[in-house]
Structure 1
């Protein structure tokens, strides 16, 4: 079992991310980003100088560490679990993110939404789903079998996303 396994989710990983987010907001960006790059040993990879070579990493390790570093920075900037937003807003955001990737069934959405260690499953799940998604009724395939009904983001969700893009 790894540190990022779902059992550790909100109890440890998110608390660590939250602590790092607080620290990053209190420090200068000129200190935070270089420190992260140094800890991941990718500072040389970000240089335009082809003569600089990482003494710590070799071959495929370089691209793996750079990818991990960039994913870490993206996580620091995007995980909003502990920023004071209420549970319904976080669930809505998560549901919209899942639906914008592809249409989903009710059971897929229930399964893919993160489980909270300290709280039961969101009792507002169906209400939030009704706000953000339209139900597409079951279809029949050419073979005569039924497909499950799917939920797709409402047009207003797409408009809200489009309005936020600069």
Structure 2
């Protein structure tokens, strides 16, 4: 079945089973490899993208649920040459250790900053709770989000 979806502002027609998880379509059909396969159960956040501005686990989101909706991936935020303010803050704070979770962390954080540009520490912590960093850089990640929001460096 052919499904049309909008990813990073561009419309794509893909011929896949509508039950296919978005993560597989992003990586295998569209060549967008920022979102990573972590657990496949929506429990770690490595696959986090934004759907209509909300953070979502792409590993458990079937393609059929995306008709007429907008998907944003980390590739839609910026490039290595022109990073978004949040990506720059993650780099400045050296928030990545192995880097596996970082795209998902950035996408969840961006979803928060898009609706609340100056979140409190408690709001940041609560919002970021579903995403896990196995390397333990959570404190750097929190600093990066605060830096990007301008609430502190």
**TM-score between both structures, scaled by the size of structure 2:** 0.35
- Which has the higher Rg, Structure 1 or Structure 2? 1
* Higher-helix-fraction structure: 1
Instruction: Name which structure has the greater RCO, CA cutoff 8 Å, separation 6+.
Output: 2
* Higher-strand-fraction structure: 2
